[in-house]
Chain A
Amino acid sequence: MNMNSSFGISASALTAQRLRMDVISSNIANAETTRASVVDGKAVPYRRKMVVLSPNESDFSSMLEAQMNGQSAGKGVKVAAIQEDQTPLKPVYNPTHPDADAQGYVYMPNVDIAKEMIDMISATRSYEANVTALNSSKAMITKALEIGR
């Protein structure tokens, strides 16, 4: 009897969606950043970052439980990695820009604001769904405490 683990499952998803939202904010904030990091003494533009989600069941205890019972309810979700989008940067002709190359092109980040906005809506909706699930679990436990009263 571990009803509380449904809290853990929803909480893991809330954490993951919040991190996803943080990464989206970072992408939007850095949509024009041409000096994000220094590689070989040269400033390189920001690259769009993406969150990689994976089921949170690779640890020993859940595998053991799954093998012994032949079934497992799962353990929620985790952020496996934050990866950079390797699509090419957008060249913009702007010779007066301090980061322009010899041909007068500035390489701008590969952030697409529209895409980020859509991701943001998706993250918000997922977050809300998990809050609903959490509230539902809470209501059930509260109800169970009233047995025999």
Chain B
Amino acid sequence: MDLLNSVSFQRLEGGLQAANARQRVIANNIANVDTPYFKRSEVSFESLLQQEINGSAPQLRGRVTDPRHFVIGPTNSVPDPVVTEDQSTAMNNNMNNVDIDREMSALADNQLQYNAYIQQMNDQIKMMRTAIEGR
């Protein structure tokens, strides 16, 4: 049964996980705003998903022609969020590069994005419920 296991639902799930990870990374950046030599990190997911959808992501995937086959390469079409540290810049005299304004706006942005994913997920569930109940 593939009630709530469509590709778009999986992508929403991936988006939620990415937003979770991004929330943690931004919270960590804000927590370390006064720490000398700290370098900020960021999470990329949406761009990776876009690459995946466009088929430009260079990766090797085994073809599965039988359900008993082992899966070679990524197991689903949704990429994992990737955390990268920005080593290239320095904002401050103590080599810290956390820009608090940028982090706060990223925080607000991330929260809205998360809410949007949840809204979309709820709508999909509602549609499925309508289909099941038939009214």
Contacts and interface: CB of A to CB of B under 8 A. Distances in A.
B83 A13 contact: no
A136 B107 contact: yes
Interface residues of A, number: 39
Contacts of B115: 140, 143
A53 B35 contact: yes
A80 to B, nearest CB: 9
A146 interface: yes
A108 interface: no
A77 B23 contact: no
Contacts of A6: 20, 23-24, 27
Contact of B104 (A71, A129, A143): A129
Given A53-B34, A71-B83, A147 B125 contact: yes
Interface string A130-149: 10111011011001101111
A136 B36 contact: no
4 A-B pairs closest in CB distance: A13-B31, A74-B28, A71-B83, A73-B24
Interface of B: 16-17, 19-21, 23-28, 30-36, 38, 41, 82-84, 100, 103-104, 107-108, 110-111, 114-115, 118, 121-122, 125
